[in-house]
């Protein structure tokens, strides 16, 4: 059955490559609405309330994923391929990421700052009203870097090693982190569990992404040595144990400097500098988008290969 899982992952990746995220009825959006509805009953300005909220939602996903995969294994390889492909397609966001990054590049190239500000929330949670062209460019580069890991590499790796249940739990945790895992007054304590669990799930994937960035850097005229140097020197100073790795790797590979003052809706963060060189220009954003796509393809190849070698062999009676 490991070949069926690998085939499903490949099919899901190709579907995302061809179609991107559906505009309506996206399963992740449906989960988000359900999580927001549950929050009306579970919210309290308390860490334990957040643990219950996060655990309940992810527990449901784990049970649904395990039951679905068990049923698919009983029906045979074709069902495993179909279920894995559909779940992988729903979980991936790499094509939408690169399309949005490309759109941002085009808007900034034509100096359409107002439209770029309207587009920025599709990439990250920063306050676009305070950003001009250079700030929008930096925000987009950093978001493309971080989401290359979160939206593509991590879900592919969880699909390869944990199957449908792990993939659903990962995507649910990542969605909850985006919803409640930030340091606003409302979510500082309630969102703590979601943020920490998402950090744990992305720990390996972020470092795999950093390695792939270094390997793939020459494809966009970048520096593998620069990527590794910035990762080793600068990543540890970033407040996120995972975003720092991928953002520093991208900065070093592209020869630019990321980080600095970062305005969110709830607070201003002073981020450390990542990488050497000048602030990113619009041309660097275009290179970051291309590098992201190349890393995404490389991670898909890696995940399919890993699934072929280590996918669980499950008895039809399981």
What are 169's two structure tokens?
């739990």
**Residue 140 has what pLDDT?**
96
Task: Answer yes or no: pTM beyond 0.85.
Answer: yes
Place of tokens 């792990």: 166
Q: What whole-number distance in Å separates Cα of residue 135 and Cα of residue 119?
A: 13
Map residue 271 onto helix, strand or coil.
strand
> Residue 96 corresponds to which tokens in the numbers above?
């939408």
Q: What is the pLDDT of residue 269?
A: 72
263 by Cβ neighbours in 10 Å (0-12 / 13-18 / 19+) ranks as middle
**Euclidean distance between the first and final Cα of the chain, in Å?**
13
Consecutive 10-residue runs of the chain (318 residues): their mean pLDDT? 90 95 83 95 96 98 97 94 97 96 97 95 85 93 96 97 97 96 91 97 98 98 97 94 96 95 68 92 98 98 91 42
Q: Of 146, 17, 3, which is closest to residue 88 (Cα–Cα)?
A: 17
Kindly tell me the number of DSSP H helices and DSSP E strands found in the chain: 12, 2
Contact between 43 and 49 under an 8 Å Cβ cutoff? The reply is: yes
Spatial separation of the C-alpha atoms in residues 95 and 17, rounded to whole Å: 6
């Amino acid at each position: 059955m490991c070949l069926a899982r690998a085939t499903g992952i490949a099919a899901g990746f190709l579907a995302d490559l061809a179609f991107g995220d559906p505009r309506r009825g996206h399963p992740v959006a449906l989960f988000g609405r359900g999580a927001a509805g549950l929050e009306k009953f579970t919210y309290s300005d308390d860490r334990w309330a957040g643990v219950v909220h996060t655990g309940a939602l992810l527990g449901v996903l784990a049970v649904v994923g395990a039951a679905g995969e068990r049923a698919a294994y009983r029906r045979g390889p074709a069902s495993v391929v179909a279920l894995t492909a559909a779940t992988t397609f729903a979980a991936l966001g790499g094509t939408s990421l690169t399309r949005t990054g490309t759109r941002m590049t085009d808007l900034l190239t034509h100096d359409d700052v107002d439209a770029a500000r309207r587009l920025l929330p599709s990439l990250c949670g920063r306050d676009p009203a305070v950003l001009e062209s250079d700030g929008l460019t930096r925000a987009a580069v950093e978001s493309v870097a971080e989401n290359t890991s979160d939206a593509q590499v991590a879900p592919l790796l969880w699909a390869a090693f944990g199957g449908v249940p792990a993939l659903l739990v990962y995507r649910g945790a990542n969605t909850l982190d985006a919803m409640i895992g930030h340091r606003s007054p409302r979510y500082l304590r309630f969102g703590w569990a979601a943020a920490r669990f998402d950090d744990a799930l992305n720990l390996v994937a972020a470092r795999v992404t950093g390695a792939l960035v270094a390997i793939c850097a020459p494809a966009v005229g970048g520096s593998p040595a620069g990527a590794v140097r910035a990762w080793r020197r600068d990543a540890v100073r970033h407040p996120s144990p995972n975003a720092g790795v991928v953002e520093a790797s991208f900065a070093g590979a592209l020869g630019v400097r990321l980080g600095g003052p970062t305005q969110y809706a709830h607070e201003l963060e002073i981020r450390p500098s990542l990488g050497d060189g000048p602030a990113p220009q619009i041309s660097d954003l275009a290179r970051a988008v291309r590098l992201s796509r190349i890393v995404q393809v490389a991670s898909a190849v890696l995940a399919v290969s890993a699934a072929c070698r280590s996918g669980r062999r499950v008895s039809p009676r399981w």
